[in-house]
Structures are given as structure tokens and as C-alpha cells.
A and B are shown apart, each in its own frame.
Chain A
Amino acid sequence: MKTLVYVEHDNAEMKDATLAVVTAASKLGEVHALVCGSGCAAVADQAAKVDGVSTVHLADDASLANQLAENVAPLVASLMESHDAFLAPATTTGKNIAPRVAALLDVMQISDILSVEDENTFTRPIYAGNAIATVQSSDAKKVITVRGTAFDKAAAEGGSAAVEGVTGAGESGLSTFVSEEIAKSERPELTSAKIIVSGGRALGSSEKFEEVITPLADKLGAGIGASRAAVDAGYVPNDYQVGQTGKIVAPEVYIAIGISGAIQHLAGMKDSKTIVAINKDEDAPIFQIADIGLVADLFDAVPELTGKV
């Protein structure tokens, strides 16, 4: 089987999310990578070095600068004439583009796969990860999004794929990019952080969140996450949300502070290696899955913890 992996990038750098997708794709067959963007030749070079990638298709065109699904999907659909499976990371980029590709190909997408059982069979989480479905696809071509935490990352070095230029379909005329607000931070990205400190509604305000959570995260070199309640209340931006409908993370250590442990939150972090919970309610559901629990007022315990790690 010949697969086509969608490379996640920002025109300058390939994102780690791509590497897990390469691993998933290599279980199906030959791995080709697709870099769509503008002025993104450097990304194609990075993709060419990924272990297991045999060919990189580079679509470098102004119309692809922001990877708008309307412009990317027709290009992918045409490349799928010579590929059998399209795999994208289950990031907001992949989730935006893949279903559009699937519909153009008249294929039912398999979302957020956790494993490849065989060429046609995959497992995926349903009901916020409270159940795992094994699904068998009868479509000739496959369109798949891949959960990054479920697959090991392919080695970023070691490959030497050929880079081939491909031409895009141009501007669809359906949508245009207006602007982007991307927070630049020195902090590790949530999906690749080794440690995550996450705050919930209990923090009470963005000031308190900053005052209590940030110093602990700084001390641990950790990424910062949050519950939906904390995001909705405006303590932190939307891209901090961990959960069923936010980011799926599985760090070495996940420290949940003032988070009750609703199933939608657990869906995003329950595969973390060690889960720590700090909550003043000893019956909070988060304690049912925490490896280490501390029943305490976070406003006392967290600053103390920050002082002692």
C-alpha cells in the first residue's frame, strides 16, 4: 500500500505531530509525505530526513501559504489517484483538511486512530475515550487521522527521501486568510511536553492562574494546560484546553490543579504516565485516576510545592 502523510508545519519547521503519523503510515506500507505551503522548501528537507519516508511531495505555492482546506483538499484528492491511504495528524489542521479530502474521494474517514490492526482495520476512541471501537473500512482508499499520543514518533533523522515538486489546484475562491493570533512562547508545546501543569476553574482569575500555575510550570520546565472551565472563564487562551474536544496529551507527568476530573477532561489526559491531582475536595473524580493525590487548598499547596521542587 502506498500512503501519503500530511506534514504539519508552519512553512518554516515541521511539527512533531508528523512523526507519529509516519509511524502509523509505515504500518500500512510505503510512506510518502506531502508538504503543502508557501516558501516551505526547508520543511520538505526536514520531512525527507524522517526515517521511513521514501518520497516527499512538495507543493509550494502562495495559495497554500495558510493551508486553507479549500485549497489543499483538491490537491490531496488528485494525489490520491496514485496513493492508497491519506493520513493526517488529528490536530486542528488535520481535522480541518482530512474530512474534506474524504468527501471529495467519497470515502468514510477513520478519525483519530489509536492502532493499525491490518490494512483495513483500526481502533479508535469513541464516547470521549470511554469506549474503543475496532472498525473495518470497506473503502478502496483510506482517509485517516492519527492520534499523536498513540504512536511512537518516527526518528526525525536517518532518511534520505527524494523531494518532488507537485502543483496545487490554486485558489478556490471560497475562502481567504485574514489573520492569525498565535502566542509565541518558550514553553514546551502541550502535545510534546514531558511535564504538564494544568489549572482548572478553581484558580478563579487569569491573575491567580498566572501567579500560582506559571511559577510551578517554570520551575519544572513544563507546558501549561487547562480545563474547559478555565478557558471559558478567560483565565487562559483556548489552545490550553486539554480534553475530549481540546488537546489530547500524554506526558510523563500531568499535574491537575483545581480540576474536578469531568469525563471530557479525563479523555484528554488519562494516558499520561503519572497523574498528580491537587484538589480540596477529597471526593473529586480526578482522584479516581490520579497516581498521587493531595487533598489541599491549591493556593497553599501549589506555592509550597513550587518552593520544594
Chain B
Amino acid sequence: MKILVPVKRVIDYNVKPRVKSDGSGVDLANVKMSMNPFDEIAVEEAIRLKEAGKAEEIVAVSVGPAKAQETLRTALAMGADRAILVQTDDEVEPLAVAKILAKIAEEEAPKLIITGKQAIDDDSNQTGQMTAALLGWGQGTFANTVDVDGDAIEVKREIDGGLQTVKLSLPAVVTTDLRLNEPRYASLPNIMKAKKKPLDEKTPADYGVDTAPRLTTTNVSEPPVRQAGEKVEDVDALVAKLKAAGAI
């Protein structure tokens, strides 16, 4: 089977985001960008399914600026077979990304789409579920473990009360949670090889998708800052403080 893995270029998770003083957004100039960590987990899971003989081909897709090529090259270096960049400099909302992914899925006919559960920039947590809805496929969100068995996939999901297992008929969409796997680093030879792997360039218009945003961000501000309190000398002082604060 073929697996489609969407990947997003986002601020690196180690960088502390800074809000621009004019309230127009978060300053991304000269900031380290990386693949969304949940998408790395998605790429890794696809590769593991391929290594286990359960998948033949992995296609990585990114909707984003020209620089998202780097993100796709990372996916290729990890082990994806080919890539599609749907290039646009506009900010594309999850709904429009899902529409593009659904169109690509109609062309490529994958049995499985593995997405990250959320991107760490907009924290929306929508794209996988929306893609599944548009395609009329089942969805296994927040996956902790997946098990492909013939024409079905069992997904153990991380939910608020613990874990839930569902069985989906294929094709289906899976979204990754943190415990699904630990993504590999691409080796130097694989990074070199990735440069020669095919990368198709498309635009949203090629898929007939209107990416005009439905949400307008009118302002981006800093959250209220918390001041550091004080350090106490010992446990007795801590207990006294807690009592004084009415905390215990």
C-alpha cells in the first residue's frame, strides 16, 4: 500500500517564540525552522510500516512556502520515497490544507494518510480529522500504537481518561501522538540520496482549492507574563508560605 504523509515547516520546538511589537504575529525572521515534531513521528511510522513490509511507497506532502522543500528533503532523507510541494506563500488554514490533501489522495489513492495530531505553531489539531471527513474515511486520532492487518488498521489512541482502541477499515487517516515512536535521524548518506529523490512542485490552484482564509487574525499579543516569586530556604519555609497563601 501507499502512505501519504503531510509535513509542515514550523518554528523549531526549542525556540521561544517572540510576539512582534506591532501585534501582527510571531517574529519568524532568522528563527530556526524545522519539521513539525508530530509530523516527524508520522514520517517515522510510515517508514516503519514500509520496513515491516506493510507499505510499498511513502509520499511526503507539504503545503507551504518554497522553503518547505527543506522539510520535504528531511522526510526524504528519513526514508520517504518521493515528495510533493504545494507551494504558496499565503498562510493556509487547516481546512484548505485538508482540501488539498483530499485532492492529492484522490489522485494518489493511498491506503493510509498519517498526519501529526497538531502543528506546534497554530496548535489547531484539525487537519487529519478534516481530511478524513472530506474523503469519507475513518480516523484514528492521537495514535499511540498502530497495527495494520490486511484491509484494516487498529489504532490505540491516547485519550483523556487513558487509552482507547478502534479498528478502521482502510483507507483511513491516522494522527500521531508523542508516544507512537521515536523518530530517527537521517544519516549523512541518506541526506545525500534524498537530494536525488523526486520532488514535484504544484500550487493550490492545480488542485482547484481556494485557500482564502476564513479566519482573520486581527491581533497577536503576548500572554500575561508571570513574575517569578521567591525562593525559600527549606521545607519549613515552603510549608509556611503555602499556609500563608491559603494554599493548604
Contacts and interface: CB of A to CB of B under 8 A. Distances in A.
Nearest to A15: B160
A132 B222 contact: yes
Contacts of A228: 178
Contact of B167 (A109, A130, A176, A291): A176
Interface string A75-112: 00000000000000001110111111111101111111
Interface stretch (B76-84, B103-111, B133-141): B133-141
Contacts of A44: none
Given A99-B133, A126-B220, A292-B241, A92 B159 contact: yes
A247 interface: yes
Given A174-B169, A228-B178, A106 B242 contact: no
Interface string B155-192: 00111111111111100100001110000000000000
Contacts of B163: 180-182, 237-238
A180 B221 contact: no
A91 B164 CA distance: 14
B179 to A, nearest CB: 6
Interface string A129-164: 111111111110000000000000000000000000
Contacts, number: 268
Contacts of B120: 127-128, 244-245
Contact of B94 (A108, A126, A275): A108
A183 B161 contact: yes
Interface residues of B, number: 83
B212 to A, nearest CB: 9
B222 A131 contact: yes
A54 interface: no
A104 B125 CA distance: 16
A292 B230 contact: yes
B123 A126 contact: yes
A75 to B, nearest CB: 13
B139 A109 contact: no
A233 B204 CA distance: 41
A129 B26 CA distance: 12
Given A99-B94, A133-B219, A232-B179, A181 B162 contact: yes
A125 interface: yes
A134 B218 contact: yes
Given A95-B141, A100-B132, A292 B215 contact: no
B213 interface: yes
B144 interface: yes
Contact of A99 (B13, B129, B172): B129
Given A102-B95, A127-B11, A127-B26, A111 B218 contact: no
A293 B138 CA distance: 47
Contacts of A62: none
Interface of A: 10, 66, 68-70, 73, 91-93, 95-104, 106-112, 121, 125-139, 172-183, 191, 195, 220, 228, 231-232, 237-239, 241, 244-245, 247, 252-253, 263-264, 270, 274-276, 282, 287-296, 301, 304-305, 308-309
Given A112-B123, A294-B232, 14 more contacts: A92-B160, A100-B130, A108-B93, A130-B19, A176-B166, A180-B164, A183-B161, A245-B118, A276-B242, A292-B238, A292-B242, A292-B245, A294-B235, A305-B235
Interface of B: 11, 13, 16-17, 19, 25-26, 38, 93-95, 98, 117-118, 120-134, 136-142, 144, 154, 157-169, 172, 177-179, 213-223, 226, 228-232, 234-239, 241-242, 245, 247-248
18 contacts: A66-B164, A69-B139, A69-B141, A99-B94, A102-B130, A109-B124, A109-B126, A112-B125, A128-B17, A136-B215, A176-B167, A179-B165, A195-B248, A245-B177, A264-B13, A274-B242, A289-B226, A294-B238
